Structure 1
Amino acid sequence: MTTEYTQLAPKVVFGADPAPLILSRRKIVVSFSPKSACTHTLVWFLRQEGLEDQARDYHQWPHRFRVNCYYKLDAYSRNLADAIAHPADYTLLKVTRTPSNRLVSQYRHSLRHNLVDDAMSARFDIDAKSDGYSLAQFSHFLSSIDRRVVSRTDSHLCEQFHPAWMFPFGQVITVNADTHNVSACLNQVEERFDLPVTDFRDTSLYGAWSKAHHRPKEQAARADDLFFRPFSKADAKLSFPTRALQSHARTHRAADQLFPLDARHSETSADFAGACIDAPRTTGRASPMAA
């Protein structure tokens, strides 16, 4: 493990938000971060683990079940203890994003949900609630806070890197949701580990859960000054220049500076038993959750 995590107890490492899930039938540790196809992956996991109906009955938002119920299950406690004691028997499946693309998603999420309005208003002497703030200002704010997942910072503002990734798992599979189709990759994982195959075209799989994943209309904009242009909550909900901001050179530089570990751990890999995750993204979204 990296030096800053070596003194932490294993349960603290695994408990960092969001704590990994454990697919008990095939000893697969599933890890993701907010704004990294997390809901898409979680819904797939709940179906594979036989918890889909319980999650739907508990709340319309599946992460509520994950946080309030799943981690408290006796089965999870037993699986977690076994994974900590025998990591070589487990496969780590992590779903990631390209850091610069995720930074734009973090920015839009913060605008839409008023996540850091008070802090931004105080730091830059602005009215963030009504006028919004720029990606430059948001990046500057992130540079001043603890972005590790083991901190008390909201996980939507933290890096993707999870200290549990450093455990000596027997196999590691990384799926980057920006470069590869997550559904197709999960289907390949199912085939490789002899799991029931999920039909991601089945609308009942996501149902009402997909309504919470509103995606704003793509705003046509020149990329030259976007990094410094303030955007508001209304922009984040209705019309937002996602692609232009993602391609901006300053966005890439900011992400490299803010999340250096993410760049080293986010690329889709083909490092399990000689098999290959090979489902590159085509046009359109990788996840039906964005419909």
Structure 2
Amino acid sequence: MAKIVFETKKVAAAVPQRLPAWLPEAVANDPYNGLNPPLIDFDRKMVLSWSAKSACTHVLIWFLVKNGLLHAANYYNPWPHEFRQDVIAKSKVFLGARNDAIANPQKYSFIRFMRDPVARLSSALRHMLRARYNEGELSIALGRKFSVETGLTVREFISYMQQVNLKNTNPHHASQVNKVDYMNGYGRKIFVKLDEPGRGIGEKINVIEAELKQLVTDFSKITKLDWVKQTHYQDDSSEGTQEITLDTVLAHQDGLRWPSTKLTEFMRSRPEMLELLAEDIHLYQNPDEFGFTMVV
């Protein structure tokens, strides 16, 4: 399991520049396409709006179970998002459901899953270092050769985030707010706060299922969720306690645990981070202003 080591050193600030878009603008601006195309359950008339690094795999597996597709997804690829991208998104059933939801939104319940924006960004940074998916773009942004082994400072990460278009960058650290979230006309809009204490995501989904008079899912019987937890989630039971500053270096190496709480608290104290995440924070804190009438 990947771990994180921290040290402190001074680094030069990155030179601001605009980085390439992740998707063509026409695709990124399509409410039912974009970075995180909503999942649409035609039989149960649900539009599920989700974001990467916000329990997305849990939501997807729930969708697969509800539609009897989990076995097919496992047969296609162990990682269910491959099935979502390659099969579901191109299927006639899904495309028909999308067209129906666009034409008749009043028949659908719109359900939005969202994570606390600052906590999610801390998680996204860890994922960036563990999965090494962004080394090329970070090298451009930082004006130097970047690798996850040498890492970057918190200051550099903030600079990188200021250079990207949060509406059209890698979905793992892009804005969680989708254009479809602003749309009204649905039968009802339900907002799920993933970081709120008291209930786990399975319990929150069960509340929604009961509200919509659906069969309640027994998540304890879905062994795929155990597999996802074992293979893709990092244990935070002994997270690091290092104090975080702008010059703390974050790297993918054996060493100290990832300080989720400390890093999240530090980012929450930085005005530039709150400015970057302002739209996400506003939706998370004020879902009623977006037409959501039920918050779980």
**Hey, what does 2:171 align to over in structure 1?**
155
Shift of 1:131: 1.1
> Is the helix fraction higher in 1 or 2?
1
Tell me which of the two structures has the higher relative contact order, counting C-alpha pairs closer than 8 angstroms and 6 or more residues apart.
Answer: 2
- Name structure 2 gaps, 5 residues minimum: 1-24
The answer on whether the counterparts of 2:240 and 2:256 sit within 8 Å (CA) in structure 1 is no
Normalising by structure 1, report the TM-score. 0.81
Which segment is superposed worse, 207-216 or 63-72?
A: 207-216
For residues 76-102 of structure 1, give each alpha carbon's deviation from its aligned partner in whole angstroms, at most 9, with x where no partner exists: 111111111122222111111111101
Q: Residues 18, 137 of structure 1: CA spacing in aligned structure 2 closer, same or farther, 3 A cutoff?
A: same
Which segment is superposed worse, 118-127 or 63-72?
A: 118-127
DSSP-derived class of the 2:148 partner? helix
For residues 164-218 of structure 1, give each alpha carbon's deviation from its aligned partner in whole angstroms, at most 9, with x where no partner exists: 1122223111111111521111001111112221112225242433333231444
CA distance in 2, matches of 1:206, 1:249: 30
For residues 110-151 of structure 1, give each alpha carbon's deviation from its aligned partner in whole angstroms, at most 9, with x where no partner exists: 111113223333425354332111232112101111110xx3
User: RMSD across aligned C-alpha pairs, in angstroms?
Assistant: 2.8
Matched, 1:206 2:225: yes
The partner residue of 1:228 within 235, 238, 247 is 247
Q: Residues 251, 43 of structure 1: CA spacing in aligned structure 2 closer, same or farther, 3 A cutoff?
A: farther
The answer on whether the counterparts of 2:73 and 2:83 sit within 8 Å (CA) in structure 1 is yes
The partner residue of 2:74 within 48, 56, 61 is 56
**Hey, what does 2:60 align to over in structure 1?**
42
Shift of 1:24: 1.5
The answer on whether the counterparts of 1:24 and 1:49 sit within 8 Å (CA) in structure 2 is no
Q: Which amino acid aligns with 1:128?
A: S
Matched, 1:121 2:139: yes
The answer on whether the counterparts of 1:216 and 1:240 sit within 8 Å (CA) in structure 2 is no
**Hey, what does 2:108 align to over in structure 1?**
90
The answer on whether the counterparts of 1:216 and 1:238 sit within 8 Å (CA) in structure 2 is no
For residues 211-232 of structure 1, give each alpha carbon's deviation from its aligned partner in whole angstroms, at most 9, with x where no partner exists: 332314443324352x431111
Structure 1 runs of 4+ with >6 Å offset: 7-11
Q: Residues 192, 219 of structure 1: CA spacing in aligned structure 2 closer, same or farther, 3 A cutoff?
A: closer
For residues 37-85 of structure 1, give each alpha carbon's deviation from its aligned partner in whole angstroms, at most 9, with x where no partner exists: 1011111111011111111111100101000001111111111111111
CA distance in 1, matches of 2:93, 2:41: 10
**Hey, what does 2:239 align to over in structure 1?**
219
Matched, 1:66 2:84: yes
Which segment is superposed worse, 119-128 or 255-264?
A: 119-128
CA distance in 1, matches of 2:189, 2:50: 13
Q: Which amino acid aligns with 1:137?
A: E
Shift of 1:159: 0.3
CA distance in 1, matches of 2:287, 2:39: 20
- Name structure 1 gaps, 5 residues minimum: 1-6, 279-291
Normalising by structure 2, report the TM-score. 0.80
The partner residue of 1:194 within 213, 220, 238 is 213
Q: Residues 167, 203 of structure 1: CA spacing in aligned structure 2 closer, same or farther, 3 A cutoff?
A: closer
Matched, 1:176 2:197: no
Q: Which amino acid aligns with 1:232?
A: A
Which segment is superposed worse, 252-261 or 130-139?
A: 252-261
DSSP-derived class of the 2:40 partner? strand
Aligned sequence identity (%): 25
The answer on whether the counterparts of 1:100 and 1:252 sit within 8 Å (CA) in structure 2 is no
